[in-house]
């Protein structure tokens, strides 16, 4: 076991900040539905869900940019911004159709909630649809603070969204843990001075092990065993 891993296993965080897409929820099918509808409206072919997955993570404008570029029609940033309102109309209409929690997500959230550890959500997804999704999945009660992609002036990997979560929980960087799936999560955590763990199969086009996190877990149920907060994860039936 490496020295960082040993340190994590001996450490009990006072606060945990979670990413949403690819970390706690599988939302790619609904995002692909909205993106493909937008592409079709603009005379472009859509993409399979598997191709959309690595496009997710930089916010709506970035998803639009990646989608059109992959369709062979690159758009400049201004054109992408103009399409954001229409994408949001399309996405809001389907955002909860197929989006669901990843395995162990509810159990782990409940575990840390019961342990008295503060939890927050930090996502680049717009706040309106973020709230819609977490309400529909009945997990909003686990979070004392939720920061969306339009809640602050910047998105991850800028540290401001994560710092806003910490402020909302009354937590210091050195007592906090970030759990995510992408380089944006690592970048935000590093810039904010927060320990970061990644899941291995989220929405990123590169291997999680190459992104510079403090640890990469096999799945969410591993987290309690890698930090000192664990008294044994209780799994729901």
Measured between alpha carbons, how far is 17 from 145 in angstroms, rounded to an integer? 9
Residues of the chain with CATH 1.10.150.240: 28-94
pLDDT for res 230? 43
pLDDT for res 82? 98
pLDDT for res 228? 65
Whether 19 is a known active-site residue: answer yes
Domain 3-26+99-226: top CATH class: alpha beta
Query: Helix, strand, or coil here: 18?
Result: strand
Mean pLDDT of the chain: 92
Percent of the chain with pLDDT over 70: 92
Residues of the chain with CATH 3.40.50.1000: 3-26+99-226
Q: Which residues, listed in sequence order, are joined to residue 26 by a DSSP beta bridge?
A: 100
Residue 185: count of CB within 10 angstroms of its CB: 34
pLDDT for res 201? 86
Which strand (E) or helix (H) includes residue 119?
strand 118-122
For 63-67, what is the mean pLDDT? 98
**Which of residues 188 and 226 earns the better pLDDT score?**
188
What is the band of 73 on the pLDDT scale with cuts at 50, 70, 90?
Answer: very high
Candidate list 5, 19, 150, 201, residue with the active-site label: 19
Domain 28-94: top CATH class: mainly alpha
- Token pair 């664990």 is found at 230
Measured between alpha carbons, how far is 40 from 36 in angstroms, rounded to an integer? 6
What is the band of 232 on the pLDDT scale with cuts at 50, 70, 90?
Answer: very low
Burial of 216 (0-12, 13-18, 19+ CB in 10 A): middle
């Amino acid at each position: 076991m490496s020295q960082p891993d040993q340190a994590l296993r001996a450490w009990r965080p006072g606060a945990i900040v979670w990413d949403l897409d690819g970390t706690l929820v599988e939302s790619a099918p609904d995002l692909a539905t909205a993106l493909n509808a937008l592409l079709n409206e603009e005379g472009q072919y859509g993409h399979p869900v598997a191709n959309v997955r690595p496009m997710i993570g930089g916010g709506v404008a970035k998803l639009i940019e990646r989608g059109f570029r992959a369709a062979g029609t690159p758009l400049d940033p201004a054109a992408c911004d103009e399409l954001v309102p229409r994408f949001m109309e399309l996405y809001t209409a389907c955002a909860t159709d197929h989006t669901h929690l990843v395995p162990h997500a509810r159990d782990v959230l409940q575990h840390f909630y019961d342990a008295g550890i503060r939890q927050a959500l930090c996502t680049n997804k717009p706040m309106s649809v973020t709230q819609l999704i977490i309400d529909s999945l009945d997990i909003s009660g686990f979070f004392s603070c939720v920061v969306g992609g339009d809640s602050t002036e910047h998105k991850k990997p800028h540290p401001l969204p994560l710092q806003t979560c910490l402020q909302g929980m009354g937590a210091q960087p050195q007592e906090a843990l970030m759990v995510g799936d992408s380089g944006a999560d690592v970048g935000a955590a590093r810039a904010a001075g927060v320990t970061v763990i990644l899941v291995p199969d989220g929405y990123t086009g590169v291997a999680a092990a190459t992104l510079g996190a403090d640890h990469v877990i096999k799945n969410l149920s591993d987290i309690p065993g890698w930090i000192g907060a664990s008294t044994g994860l209780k799994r729901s039936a």
